[in-house]
């Protein structure tokens, strides 16, 4: 690749390595990319691999989704790829984007853009641009403002993105104020890229994020949610979360996180709840087996949000947060609803927050087999995540205490496994189903059957499995006591 702008001499060795990564990655996709480039050139148009695709190629991590820009308008793009692409979609047409698939690669081809914003609207007004340089200037960050022309592989980097990639810094092509004024979501994207790439934001970018944080209110909850989800699922979510809090961005959509900074954690008084929470998130990430478990990470982030509202100082000066898990679950549900997360995701995160303290006290020997059954039944399919969250929540620096907590939880998991081997803990249900209840009591479908079913489930949790005769005897005893039968 030739360079439109030469790198600084001090960066030359590292940048050469980055370019070698890019060549290797581009060779993998070039049969499709170059063929597509030749089709556009024959039609009298330009085509450039651009944005995140170039950035990821330079980092040696290019995936199967490729982004292109062109001077061709959507109708012309459709004519060029018709009959060549294996499939075509036009869902992004209003933004100048045509999608296609070829040889296992997903391609998005977007007309040069020179977006304009009215500083009030929540979405950009798309205006087609006329040149590659104009298109690159309107992009969010310099590391996303590089291009590789096709099919000749000419490299264009008018804003020093290659040097910034080497320095691992996030900077904007125009001034940060202009960039964030155009689209305030870019402030959240800066934190997201810091989390995903383990990069630092340039001081000027950090300052603009702080001064313009309130502008994030112009952005829809759905767009904020999507960026935040990507941030939390980044390789280094802690860096991204700290940026959100330090710049005031968190206060605009997740104020509960900022609120944790003022509270003292009763488990470890050497650090506040905010620092404890970040450590729990970091611990939760270490327990993931494959990819990002957003539900686990979000539960780790929000598990203590009920503490500010429940803080109390006793006569002995000790701080307590009684029932903060109950209050935290309520706050979690409300916040995730405001952020427009799906109901099923919200329900799972909320349940984990509500259950995260249940384990404490187990080591004192107070748990019966019934308590273990209820723990498993209440967690349901969230039990593996609850195991990880509970272990992540142990952040004490007292090695003896940490070792004891770990041993206690090992013992609980072993006990669950033992009881599960004897009983079907994965499906704790009454020993009689609804049909058997109706037949034995001689009642039709209705509330009585539901009450009887609930009673038998409680007995199942309390006593373990009952054989048929014992279950029927218990049902009849209950029915007589309730006056259902004589």
pLDDT tens, 80-99?
999 999 999 999 898 899 99
Helix, strand, or coil (residue 181): helix
Between the alpha carbon of residue 411 and those of residues 379, 405, 414, 418, the distances in Å are 18, 10, 5, 10
Q: Are 11 and 163 in contact, with CB atoms under 8 Å apart?
A: yes
Mean pLDDT of 46-75: 93
The yes-or-no verdict on residue 266 having pLDDT over 70 is: no
Q: What's the half-sphere exposure (Cβ side, CA atoms, 13 Å) at 292?
A: 18
Mean pLDDT over the full length of the chain: 85
Mean pLDDT of 211-234: 96
Q: How confident is the model at residue 3 (pLDDT cuts 50, 70, 90)?
A: very low
Judging by beta carbons within 10 Å of its beta carbon (0-12, 13-18, 19+), is residue 161 exposed, middle or buried? buried
Judging by beta carbons within 10 Å of its beta carbon (0-12, 13-18, 19+), is residue 5 exposed, middle or buried? middle
**Nearest residue to 74 (alpha-carbon basis) of 50, 55, 92, 51:** 92
The yes-or-no verdict on residue 268 having pLDDT over 50 is: no
Q: How confident is the model at residue 162 (pLDDT cuts 50, 70, 90)?
A: very high
Position 443 scores a pLDDT of 80
Position 6 scores a pLDDT of 40
> pLDDT over 70 for what percent of the chain?
84
Q: Which residues pair with 312 in a beta bridge?
A: 320
**Nearest residue to 321 (alpha-carbon basis) of 312, 334, 330:** 312
**CA atoms of 212 and 115, how far apart (whole Å):** 20
Position 415 scores a pLDDT of 83
Those residues whose C-beta lies under 8 Å from the C-beta of residue 109, and which sit 6 or more positions away, are 47, 68, 69, 70, 72, 77, 81, 97, 98, 99, 100
Q: How confident is the model at residue 376 (pLDDT cuts 50, 70, 90)?
A: confident
**Nearest residue to 302 (alpha-carbon basis) of 339, 268, 247:** 339
The yes-or-no verdict on residue 128 having pLDDT over 70 is: yes
Position 113 scores a pLDDT of 85
The size of the chain, in residues, is 486
Position 308 scores a pLDDT of 84
Q: Which residues of 287-322 are buried (b: 16+ CB within 10 A; e: fewer)?
A: beeeebbbbbbbbbbbbbbbbbbbbeeeeeeeeebe
Q: Are 224 and 233 in contact, with CB atoms under 8 Å apart?
A: no
**CA atoms of 81 and 69, how far apart (whole Å):** 14
Highest mean pLDDT among 34-43, 115-124, 267-276, 417-426: 34-43
Q: What is the pLDDT of residues 297-316, one digit of tens each?
A: 999 999 999 998 877 777 67
Q: What's the half-sphere exposure (Cβ side, CA atoms, 13 Å) at 8?
A: 11
**Range of lowest pLDDT (10-24, 149-163, 431-445, 465-479):** 10-24
DSSP, res 124? P
The yes-or-no verdict on residue 412 having pLDDT over 90 is: no
The yes-or-no verdict on residue 118 having pLDDT over 90 is: no
Q: Of 425 and 185, which is predicted with more confidence? A: 185
DSSP, res 104? T
- What is the H or E stretch that residue 387 is in? helix 383-392
Q: How confident is the model at residue 365 (pLDDT cuts 50, 70, 90)?
A: low
| E strand segments, 367-411 | none
- Residue whose pair of structure tokens reads 């990069």 in the numeric block: 199
Position 427 scores a pLDDT of 52
**CA atoms of 12 and 375, how far apart (whole Å):** 58
CA angle (95, 97, 101) in 5-degree steps: 155
Position 174 scores a pLDDT of 92
**Nearest residue to 475 (alpha-carbon basis) of 421, 419, 420, 430:** 430
- CA dihedral in degrees (90, 95, 98, 101; nearest 10)? -90
**CA atoms of 247 and 233, how far apart (whole Å):** 20
Q: What is the pTM assigned to this prediction?
A: 0.80
Position 7 scores a pLDDT of 42
Q: Of 245 and 366, which is predicted with more confidence? A: 245
**Range of lowest pLDDT (70-74, 163-167, 173-177, 268-272):** 268-272
Position 5 scores a pLDDT of 41
């Amino acid at each position: 690749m030739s360079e439109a702008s030469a790198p600084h001499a001090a960066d030359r060795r590292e940048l050469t390595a980055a370019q070698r990564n890019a060549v290797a990655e581009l060779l993998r996709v070039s049969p499709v990319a170059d063929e597509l480039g030749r089709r556009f050139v024959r039609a009298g148009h330009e085509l450039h691999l651009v944005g995140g695709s170039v950035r990821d190629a330079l980092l040696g991590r290019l995936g199967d989704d490729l982004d292109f820009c062109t001077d061709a308008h959507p109708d012309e793009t459709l004519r060029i790829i018709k009959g060549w692409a294996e499939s075509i979609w036009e869902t992004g047409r209003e933004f100048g984007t045509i999608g296609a698939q070829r040889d296992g690669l997903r391609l998005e081809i977007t007309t040069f853009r020179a977006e304009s914003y009215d500083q009030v609207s929540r979405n950009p007004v798309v205006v087609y641009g006329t040149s590659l340089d104009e298109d690159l200037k309107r992009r969010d960050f310099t590391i996303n403002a590089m291009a590789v022309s096709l099919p000749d592989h000419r490299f264009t980097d008018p804003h020093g993105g290659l040097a910034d990639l080497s320095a691992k810094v996030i900077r904007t092509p125009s001034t940060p104020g202009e960039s964030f004024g155009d689209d305030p979501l870019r402030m959240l994207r800066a934190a997201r890229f810091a989390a995903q790439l383990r990069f630092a934001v340039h001081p000027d970018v950090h300052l603009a994020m702080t001064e313009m944080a309130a502008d994030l209110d112009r952005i829809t909850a759905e767009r904020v949610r999507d960026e935040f989800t990507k941030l939390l699922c980044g390789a280094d979510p802690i860096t991204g979360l700290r940026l959100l809090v330090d710049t005031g961005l968190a206060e605009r959509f997740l104020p509960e996180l900022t609120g944790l900074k003022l509270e003292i954690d009763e488990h470890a008084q050497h650090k506040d709840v905010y620092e404890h929470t970040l450590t729990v998130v970091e611990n939760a990430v270490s327990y993931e087996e494959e990819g990002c478990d957003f539900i686990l990470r979000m539960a780790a982030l929000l598990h203590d949000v009920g503490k500010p509202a429940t803080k109390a100082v006793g006569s002995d000066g000790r701080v307590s947060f009684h029932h903060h898990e109950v209050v935290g679950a309520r706050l979690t549900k409300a916040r995730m609803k405001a952020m427009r997360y799906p109901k099923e995701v919200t329900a799972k995160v909320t349940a984990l927050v509500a259950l995260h303290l249940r384990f404490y006290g187990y080591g004192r020997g107070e748990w019966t087999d019934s308590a273990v059954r209820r723990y498993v039944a209440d967690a349901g399919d969230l039990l593996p995540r609850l195991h990880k969250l509970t272990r992540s929540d142990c952040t004490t620096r007292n090695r003896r205490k940490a070792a004891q907590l770990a041993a206690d939880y090992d013992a609980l998991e072993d006990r669950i496994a033992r009881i599960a081997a004897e009983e079907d803990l994965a499906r704790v249900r009454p020993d009689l189903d609804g049909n058997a209840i109706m037949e034995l009591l001689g009642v039709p479908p209705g509330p009585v059957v539901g009450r009887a079913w609930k009673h038998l489930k409680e007995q199942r949790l309390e006593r373990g499995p009952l054989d048929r005769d014992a279950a029927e005897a218990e049902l009849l005893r209950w029915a007589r006591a309730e006056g259902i039968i004589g």
